[in-house]
Chains A and B, each alone.
Chain A
Amino acid sequence: MRIELNDDQKTVIKIIREAKSMPFLELTSLSAIHDNRLTEILHELEKKDLIVLINPENIFEELVVAKDKAFNLF
């Protein structure tokens, strides 16, 4: 099944899959997307089963991990 992504979601996926995983604050420093918007995007991507969020309740502890599906998107 084809997964549709908007430009922001594509930007985030590109950054994550380059490193495979990273802390949330690293992702926000690289993506130039505001923290609140980035949190929304990450939840959207998690719903699409493209990433896993670990400790999403605390941005200092939060880790973002790319799932296998994220590597075969575009």
Chain B
Amino acid sequence: MDSQYYYSLISFGVGSAAGFQGVYDRYSTNSIQAIYTPPGAFYLFSRGLIPALVFVICYNTQLFSNHFLLYSLVCGSSVELILRTKIFIKETSQNGTAEELLRGPFDLLQWYQNLLLQSVAEYLARIRKIFMEKNLPKSIAFEPLIINALNNLDAWPPSDSINQLKTDVQRIEGEYHQEIGGQTNGTDIDSKYKYKLGYLILNKKGPKAFKTLLTLTT
């Protein structure tokens, strides 16, 4: 294979980087986790593939025969520019305010991005659920678990976020007692509230704190 084809990887990189911007805009701190999900990886790959193919086609048709580095960058950025284009169609009026109707490849790109990134969101929620199933102590009932969490919370230096978490944990405890009152078979309720407690701590403080707070101390 002609070694010049390797320059298409630079176009691929430019396209993927532009794709990653879309992922970062939506997922910010979770964006790295998002691109490791199957739809996230496919999205980045597909965004890189288009400019890489454009480079290969242009090179095959001898549109350029030197300055490959420059042309690979041009292919990457030009494809991105075209994909982000919107063309003015007409001016519409809604409730007395004028709005411009714009259409173009960007609409298609946005639709594709939303479709894939929504699938990413589903994967991220599944990852949280799997984390909970793996790490939530199974042999401990809700009540000793929450007492343990509150005791462990007391060992942390006081701060606004810790106080808020304590309040939320106590709220969940109150909801549990309200729901369990009078029930003969509380297994499902117990399990449900263990999950609620786990998710609350995971959401507010992350996986490390989850393990610290829910580890049984003697």
Residues of A within 8 A of B (CB): 19-23, 25-26, 28-30, 32, 34, 52, 54, 59-61, 63-68, 71
Contact = CB atoms under 8 A, between A and B. Distances in A.
B192 A20 contact: no
Given A23-B129, A68-B114, A29 B203 contact: yes
A31 to B, nearest CB: 11
Contacts of B175: 34
Interface string B35-67: 000000000000000000000000000000000
A10 B132 CA distance: 27
Interface string B156-191: 000000000000100110010000000000000001
Contacts of B86: none
Given A26-B203, A30-B203, A65-B118, A20 B124 contact: yes
Given A59-B192, A63-B126, A26 B199 contact: yes
B125 A63 contact: yes
B122 A29 contact: no
Nearest to A71: B26
B84 interface: no
A29 B165 CA distance: 11
Contact of A54 (B122, B199, B200, B203): B122
